[in-house]
């Protein structure tokens, strides 16, 4: 099945930033586009704004003058819903209220032809519920664009409970014909991106609430060690704390207050105080003129150890051995089944974050997971109050000798990157097991929708099938609230490896 024919007009109802963006995408793809807004004069203003953006595309060499003029000729603001009668697709981008959207689509159903595809761009409401009052809900789908729609490639094509396969396929192919990268998903709270991305924010906030690290340090570790483009605090300041918290709260409520999606009290207080981020001038950070951005905690220079002993398999951190040797530090490997640990000259141990805490062991320093230890510019360490100062100094000096800045954080299980990635992987496996989307579509959605360095399943394959399960299982033992309980899907995934390998 192919997408919507180019001769078929596309209507966009609601002419805010998102509505204008969607209209621009359809317009540049070659469709006649009708703009409608309930507020008098807004559709015409939106048409003018879209025309100005087309002018900027011409100035940047991304659109020819002829194509701009043709696009402008295809753009028509209208004053009545009845003017949308001959459209082949209507996309709404109006207020995020169920009653408003239901009433709009009820009116549209009386106007458009039976083969017109109806689509909502909702990001937080149930597609099934929005289309639930229609006489013919089979033609109703979700088309969730990401802001700014003309620039971001991802579109989540959401099938409600009553959506026909042919309608979903038609919407999918239309988005692809518009130059977008569509992913198919079932109607679940948060769809793909907003469901699976929750731990990225939640775990950063949890580490902060535990007084283990400040926002600047957590952000730096996520960026410089985890490979994320932005840290959770700076990203939510950009999104808007009220917007981000609203999505988190909506997903939490929609999953019947599942502990895995529990909102952050610290973020709630930020919203209550009016510190909404960049748009209000202050959020986690201060954006006033002349305000200084806080620096992440970076440890003072320490001497590297003369040697390390590698006991057992370092797993996801195996690359460290080559880096240590390249730094001129002797490495002795011993084939013992002690997991991921390095023994320092002090006798203390350096262990990859595994969901446990330093306080449980004698003289253990944990180091965080990295996307790539060779290219990472910062590594986080954590230690207990009674950890030997010499052991912490040797661990710090070791990573500094590898060219890394070192941030020492509090003794929290899973540290920062490891717990975040483990939870993202878990939610991804859970989503596949429940028929939300395929592994491929989830990886695509998380890379393109929130710019993650790897999709959850790409992370999983790199880390090993049991890494995420082991981290969360240990964390669940220390926090039995259910927040870190591995899903049944992740449990099966991890233990399938043991079964195939014949281990117990």
Q: Strand pairing partners for 380?
A: 407
249 a catalytic residue: no
Q: Determine which one of 31, 92, 109, 123 is catalytic.
A: 123
| Cα–Cα distance, 464 to 2 (Å, whole number) | 39
Asked whether 391 and 305 are in contact (CB, 8 A), the reply is no
Q: Strand pairing partners for 120?
A: 92, 142
Asked whether 225 and 368 are in contact (CB, 8 A), the reply is yes
Q: Determine which one of 194, 358, 388, 407 is catalytic.
A: 194
Ranges of H-type helices in 182-316: 193-196, 198-209, 215-224, 232-239, 241-254, 265-272
| Cα–Cα distance, 146 to 458 (Å, whole number) | 22
| Cα–Cα distance, 469 to 65 (Å, whole number) | 55
| Cα–Cα distance, 214 to 387 (Å, whole number) | 21
Count of alpha carbons within 13 angstroms of residue 358, beta-carbon side = 27
Q: Strand pairing partners for 378?
A: 405
144 a catalytic residue: yes
| Cα–Cα distance, 491 to 454 (Å, whole number) | 22
Q: Determine which one of 109, 124, 126, 144 is catalytic.
A: 144
Asked whether 401 and 307 are in contact (CB, 8 A), the reply is no
Q: Determine which one of 156, 234, 245, 302 is catalytic.
A: 156
Q: Which of 157, 118, 134, 138 is nearest to 10 (CA)?
A: 118
Residue with tokens 């009674």: 386
80 a catalytic residue: no
Catalytic residues: 123, 144, 156, 194
């Amino acid at each position: 099945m192919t997408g919507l024919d180019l001769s078929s007009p596309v209507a966009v109802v609601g002419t805010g930033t998102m509505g204008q963006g969607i209209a621009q995408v359809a317009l540049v793809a070659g469709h006649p586009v009708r703009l409608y807004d309930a507020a008098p004069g807004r559709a015409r203003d939106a048409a003018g704004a879209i025309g100005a953006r087309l002018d900027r595309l011409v100035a940047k060499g991304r659109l020819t003058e002829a194509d701009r003029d043709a696009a402008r000729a295809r753009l028509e603001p209208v004053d009545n819903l009845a003017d949308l009668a001959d459209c082949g697709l209507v996309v709404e981008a109006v207020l995020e209220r169920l009653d408003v959207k239901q009433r709009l689509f009820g009116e549209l159903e009386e106007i458009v032809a039976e083969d017109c595809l109806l689509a909502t761009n909702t990001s937080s409401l149930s597609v099934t519920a929005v289309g639930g009052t229609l006489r013919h809900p089979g033609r109703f789908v979700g088309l969730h664009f990401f802001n700014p729609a003309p620039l971001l490639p991802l579109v989540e094509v959401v099938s409600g409970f009553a959506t026909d396969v042919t309608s979903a396929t038609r919407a999918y192919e239309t988005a692809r014909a518009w130059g977008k990268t569509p992913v198919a998903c079932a109607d679940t709270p948060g769809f793909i991106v907003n469901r699976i991305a929750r731990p990225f924010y939640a775990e950063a906030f949890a580490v902060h609430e535990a007084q283990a690290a400040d926002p600047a340090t957590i952000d730096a570790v996520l960026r410089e060690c985890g490979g994320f483009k932005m840290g959770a605090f700076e990203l939510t300041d950009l999104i808007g704390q009220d917007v981000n918290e609203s999505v988190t709260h909506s997903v939490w409520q929609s999953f019947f207050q599942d502990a895995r999606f529990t909102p952050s009290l610290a973020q709630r207080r930020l919203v209550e105080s009016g510190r909404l981020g960049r748009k209000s001038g202050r959020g986690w950070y201060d954006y006033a003129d002349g305000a200084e951005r806080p620096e992440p905690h970076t440890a003072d220079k320490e001497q590297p150890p003369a040697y390390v002993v590698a006991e057992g398999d370092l797993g996801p951190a195996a690359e460290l051995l080559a880096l240590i040797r390249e730094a001129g530090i002797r490495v002795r490997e011993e084939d013992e089944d002690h997991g991921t640990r390095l023994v320092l000259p002090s006798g203390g141990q350096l262990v990859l974050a595994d969901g446990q805490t330093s306080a449980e062991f004698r003289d253990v320093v944990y180091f965080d997971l990295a996307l790539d230890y060779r290219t990472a510019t910062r590594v986080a360490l954590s230690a207990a109050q009674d950890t030997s100062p010499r052991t912490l100094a040797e661990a710090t000096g070791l990573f500094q000798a590898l060219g890394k800045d070192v941030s020492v954080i509090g003794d929290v299980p899973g540290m920062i990157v490891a717990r975040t990635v483990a939870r993202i992987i878990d939610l991804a496996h859970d989503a596949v097991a429940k028929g939300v989307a395929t592994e491929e579509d989830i990886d695509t959605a998380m890379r393109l929708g929130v710019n993650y360095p790897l999709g959850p399943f790409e992370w999983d394959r790199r880390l090993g099938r049991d890494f995420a399960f082991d981290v969360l299982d240990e964390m669940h033992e220390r926090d039995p609230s259910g927040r870190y309980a591995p899903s049944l899907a992740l449990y099966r995934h991890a233990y399938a490896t043991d079964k195939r390998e014949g281990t117990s």
